Amino acid sequence: MQLTDIGVNLTHPSLVEQCAAVLDRAHAAGVMQMLLTGTNLVESEQAIRLCETQDESQQRLFCTAGIHPHDASSWNCDSASQLKALLMHQRVRAVGECGLDFNRDFSPRPQQEKVLEEHLALAVELNLPVFLHERDADQRLLEILRDYRDKLPAAVVHCFTGEKRALFNYLDLDLHIGITGWICDERRGTHLQPLVREIPEGRLMLESDAPFLLPRSLRPKPKNGRNEPAYLIETLKTVAEHRNETPEHVAAHTTATAQTFFRLPKLTAVNTPESE
């Protein structure tokens, strides 16, 4: 059973300090490919370097490049050209993390919208999919996306936590959906459990969002409380349960979807740790 984790914040200090061990544990758990999330220009460049230094095979680690809506205020006259240069690197497989966050509003909303449109324009120009962030902004995100959707190869709403209306609107716009350990949270994620079965095969992908969103149903819990890609197995089990599918089936179709979406190489038996 092989899994692809489409969202790992490996540049976060709590993970990068023991990067090799984190990757070893992930591979041992069956998480064979990962997309490292770029959330600003500096971290996007760091993600590219990690892909190059931690994966000489060029089969397992890839990344996104973008500016998170929290950092939209950092966008300046040079940002588009700097981001475009990063997006042209062979390890970069999507534009983002970009989007709208009207929950924390760390950057002014008009600036968030402007920066999102800059990202979408680059995605169209470079024919790259988009890795989207959205909090309390689904209607505005949809309004902006509609002007670009026909020209975009694909887009995924990363770490979906919304309600049924938002999910169906995203699916109607032919978007993909990323599910994290939020679905394992008995305090705030139970509404996702009946919704996850509404996501068609070919549109669903799994992600850890490590080191954040440790699945609360995980037993035993790590003492440090930090999430890792290895724990994506817990999210897989919960998703499988509520889709009435086996974990093996969910792993197979979500991995196939991720490989198609991000244009990843398909791993064979010779790529697995057991056969190396």
Task: Categorize the per-residue pLDDT at 269 as very low, low, confident or very high, splitting at 50, 70 and 90.
Answer: low
Domain that holds residue 175: 3-275
Cα dihedral 141, 229, 218, 29 in deg (nearest 10): 140
Model pLDDT for residues 204-263, shown as the tens digit of each residue? 999 999 999 999 999 999 999 999 999 999 999 999 999 999 999 999 999 999 999 999
Compute the average pLDDT of residues 40-47: 98
Q: What is the pLDDT of residues 82-112, one digit of tens each?
A: 999 999 999 999 999 999 999 999 999 999 9
Q: How many domains does the chain have?
A: 1
Please report how many Cα atoms fall inside a 13 Å half-sphere around the Cα of residue 255, on the Cβ side.
Answer: 23
CATH number of domain containing 191: 3.20.20.140
Q: How far is it, in rounded angstroms, from Cα 180 to Cα 197?
A: 14
Distance (Å, whole) CA 264 – CA 34:
10
Mean pLDDT of the chain: 96
Q: How confident is the model at residue 268 (pLDDT cuts 50, 70, 90)?
A: confident
